[in-house]
Amino acid sequence: MHTVNDYFDYTMLKKGQFLPRVERFELIPAIMSVLDMFKMLAESKRLIFTIDFDRDNPKSLLTDKQRFLQVLRNYAGNALKYTTRGSIGVSICFNWRE
């Protein structure tokens, strides 16, 4: 289903009709959903898959949740696709500029 949505978003972006859906969401549950999604695949490949979340990160974000998760899924999915042994670590750290 995510692939269909990704393609739809790409089509809308190409047409100049893409509008982000900005919302506030809790960051840790959203990130854990991605970890859970790839956990079984990592285990089947005998890989260690971890997500490191900096404790100074905000607890929630105001952004397009689906696009944020899409980037995280693509990043993690590609790492799992091309890694044959060892581990994969995703580190999430926000650098704030004032």
Structural domain boundaries of the chain? 24-92
Report whether pLDDT(9) > 60: no
The residue ranking higher by pLDDT, 20 or 41, is: 41
What is the reported pLDDT for 3? Answer: 53
Its sign, for the CA torsion 3, 47, 57, 32, is: positive
Architecture label for domain 24-92: 2-Layer Sandwich (3.30)
The arithmetic mean of pLDDT across residues 84-91, rounded, is: 91
pLDDT digits 0-9 by tens, 22-80: 899 999 999 899 889 999 999 999 999 988 888 888 899 898 898 889 889 999 999 99
Q: How far apart, in whole angstroms, are the C-alpha atoms of residue 19 and residue 80?
A: 30
Report whether pLDDT(10) > 70: no
Are 31 and 92 in contact by the 8 Å Cβ rule? The answer is yes
